[in-house]
Amino acid sequence: MTIKMLNVDRTALLVPRKNMIMTSQSIGHRRVTLAGEVRSELERMIVEGDLAGGEKMNEVALSSAMGVSRGTVREAIRSLADSGLIDLIANRGAYVHVTTLAEVRNLYDLRGAVFAMACASAARRVAEGAEPGLPKMLDRNLTQMEAAALKADTAKYYTLNIEFHDLLLQGAGNPKAKTVYGNLVKEMHLYRRKGLSVPMNMERSLEEHRAISAAVIGGDVEAAHTAAHQHLVAGFARYMKITDRVSATSD
């Protein structure tokens, strides 16, 4: 039997396969994005207090509220297991994590170490001319924080406080440190609000921000590191003072 060899354009054979691969990647990408969006929304709900510490995460209610499948919500919840925001308990489900005092102290220590390092790096980069826009952004942020403090606008100050820290982490030029810091901050949002809830605390926090900003803008690496570390130590003290006050009131 004679086998007839066909002169086939091999690139033509690759087209369907290529299209098929693109379609598969596209579908997978959409699924990942949807679960990611649900995860982000769950994080927001926990951070802003819509889901309180110790509260069970109801997959049915959440999927209905978000307009997605229960499976998507379950996938998003499971992806949060390593974030420190939730606890997965066998045969019981997922619960919003309740932070202990020991955990608070450990998180402050870790965050302080990363933040101090980042501020020192930002100061060095400013001195080297690698962050020419950072001084102006820090000045603008401080001006806005001063206005918020004068009005005793805790919500506005809190937002600007986060922005201040983000500017410095970005200025450090260390993406890995920024990611680590961001994960720590997510675990700290709920109780960090308590430490800024008193106008006097906002003013003290602002003074510490001024010291950090001055050191970074001046390119003083050692001073930036010291001021940043002292800021986190003071932040923990503020948190403890508010916690003690609440405990005394409830006793």
Q: Where residue 147 sits, what CATH number does that domain have?
A: 1.20.120.530
Domain endpoint, select from 96, 130, 159: 96
Residues 78 and 107 in one domain: no
Is residue 44 domain-resident?
A: yes
The whole-number pLDDT of residue 6 equals: 39
- Whether residue 38 contacts residue 68, with contact meaning beta carbons closer than 8 Å, is answered with yes
Closest by Cα among 53, 101, 92 to 242: 101
pLDDT one-digit tens code per residue, 64-97: 999 999 999 999 999 888 777 888 998 899 998 8
Residues of the chain with pLDDT under 50: 1-31, 195, 246-251
Pair 170, 178: CB distance under 8 Å: yes
Residues 129, 28: one domain?
Answer: no
Q: Name 227's Cβ contacts closer than 8 Å, sequence gap at least 6.
A: 119, 208, 211, 212, 215
Residues 113 and 179 occupy one common structural domain: yes
Of 225, 235, 206, 214, whose CA–CA distance to 134 is shortest? Answer: 214
**Could you say which of 96, 121, 147 is where a domain stops?**
96
Q: Would you give the distance in Å from CA 86 to the centre of its chain? A: 15
Coil, helix or strand at residue 93: strand
Total number of domains in the chain: 2
Asked if 43 and 115 sit in the same domain, the reply is no
For the full predicted model, state whether its pTM sits above 0.85: no
CA pair distance 248, 44, nearest whole angstrom:
30
Is the residue at 185 inside a domain? yes
What percent of the chain stands above pLDDT 70?
78
pLDDT at position 147:
96
Helix, strand, or coil (residue 224): helix
End residue of a domain, out of 78, 96, 114: 96
130 and 181 fall within a common domain: yes
Q: Assign residue 173 a region (left: φ > 0; alpha: ψ between -120 and 50; beta: otherwise).
A: left
For residue 42, count other CB atoms closer than 10 A to its CB: 25
236 and 196: one domain?
A: yes
The residue length of the chain stands at: 251
pLDDT 10s digits, 212-250: 999 999 999 999 999 999 999 998 888 787 766 544 444
**Can you tell me the distance from the alpha carbon of 53 to that of 204, in angstroms, rounded to the nearest whole number?**
28
Q: Are residues 131 and 195 in the same domain?
A: yes
Residue 204 and residue 169 share a domain? yes
Give the domain extent around 15: 10-96
What pLDDT does residue 175 have? 96
Instruction: Give me the pLDDT at residue 47, please.
Output: 77
